[in-house]
A and B are shown apart, each in its own frame.
Chain A
Amino acid sequence: MPAFNEEGRLARTLEELASQLSSQLRRGVVGQADVTVFLVDDGSRLPIDEDAVRAVATGLRVVFARHAVNLGQGAALETARRLALQPRWQPVAGPFDAFVTMDSDGQHQPSDVLALAGAIAAGADVALGDRFAGGSDVPTSRRVLLMMARLFERATTGLNLSDVHNGLRAFGPRAIERMQIRQNRMAHATEISRSISRASAERAADDRLRVVEVPVSVRYTGESLAKGQRASGAVAIVVDLFHGFLFSPHEPREPR
């Protein structure tokens, strides 16, 4: 869970997540000891108040890391991904079964987190949230922007997804290792699509990833819309992708 200047929204999101998980715990759907939130503060102006997190995230295991400077959502997700793969933070029972990414601004519903993790448990390697199938009340301007992004992704990655820039995604253990993110900012969504596209078209059938889309609901509020992506951001994404194309090695490499 990346967080940048979220303040009160983060506390509400964690509280909701904790409450949702505890209700699932009561029903025996998940085991509490093994649900971990990797929270990365991406250089927020006011550092995240750990006491406030402790107060609201009742019963959740939260691993917290902070970027000294703001790098971008992609960088924060990559930090979380690497932390989640470190044996130090893995549950006693062994590696995680599923890795879910979600925004910390309250747009994403905690119940959808469990739905995505459930899709991974059911055999998918990648589960992508689809806000259009989930009955979200997507504003028209955002709908147009996302439709253009969808066409762009289809042309550049070959993947025909319904909702390409949804931060609610889940990966199985086979997939997460291949999802290294090098794009620090918002272009990471296209980079993930490209990794998924490459991995789901592997020549050997055993190496191919199984991708599913899961209906999710995204809540739009004045706050989230003001902080979210704009049309001008689309230009920055294309520029970042072009720089990545020019200057990054063709094959992603993990740092030594």
Chain B
Amino acid sequence: MMQAEITPAAIALVGLLTALFLHDFVTLARNRRLLLLQLVVFAIGGTLIVYPEIARRLAHFVGIGRGVDFVLYPLVIWLVRESLLSRRRRHDEQERVTELVRAFAASGAHEVVQSRDRAPAHSSGPSAS
């Protein structure tokens, strides 16, 4: 039987997880699926904090020295990937906004100054833009 390790750090971390979940429970009340996923992830996290022996045994099983590294390695990989995906999404969004703003600008484009002589000319000249 594994023993729970209730240290001040474990209490602080579990408290943080609970506070975050309660905050999201109030602000994301309509997004039940996201809340459920968060509840599962936080429950796993909380269990690993209170019972670090689980992480230690899993780490030894896959050949990693410390239980904390077993959690940390995939977490870092996931965070880097998430950061890149988020930057790409922002980049794509920015491109879409640019095209939207440009389409509005083009549809509203108009001549401010009518030239005095718009008769057909013999040669075409430069445009300054």
Chain A interface residues (CB < 8 Å from chain B):
1, 17, 30-40, 50, 53-54, 57-69, 71, 75, 77-84, 86, 89-102, 113-114, 117, 120, 170, 182, 184, 243, 246-248, 255
Contacts and interface: CB of A to CB of B under 8 A. Distances in A.
A39 B125 CA distance: 17
Interface centre among B99, B109, B121 (most CB of A within 10 A): B109
A194 to B, nearest CB: 18
Contacts, number: 162
Given A61-B115, A92-B118, A35 B105 contact: no
Interface residues of B, number: 37
B53 to A, nearest CB: 41
Contacts of B119: 33, 92
16 contacts: A31-B123, A37-B129, A40-B105, A61-B115, A61-B118, A65-B109, A69-B101, A93-B124, A94-B124, A98-B127, A99-B129, A182-B95, A184-B94, A243-B87, A246-B87, A255-B99
A55 to B, nearest CB: 9
A218 B51 CA distance: 70
A64 B117 contact: no
Interface in B48-88: 84, 87-88
Contact of A243 (B91, B117, B123, B127): B91
B106 A82 contact: yes
Nearest to B92: A247
B113 interface: yes
Nearest to A55: B113
Nearest to B105: A65
Contacts of A34: 121, 123-125
Contact of B126 (A53, A78, A94, A97): A97
Contacts of B113: 53-54, 57-62
A31 B117 CA distance: 10
B88 A67 contact: no
Nearest to B111: A63
B91 A247 contact: yes
B8 interface: no
A69 B101 CA distance: 7
Interface in B28-53: none
A100 B125 CA distance: 11
B115 A93 contact: no
B129 A83 contact: yes
Given A54-B112, A246-B88, A67 B129 contact: no
A86 B122 CA distance: 20
B105 to A, nearest CB: 4
Given A38-B128, A61-B113, A98-B127, A93 B108 contact: no
B127 A31 contact: no
A62 B111 contact: yes
B23 interface: no
B105 A68 contact: yes
A120 B126 contact: yes
Contact of B123 (A50, A82, A93): A93
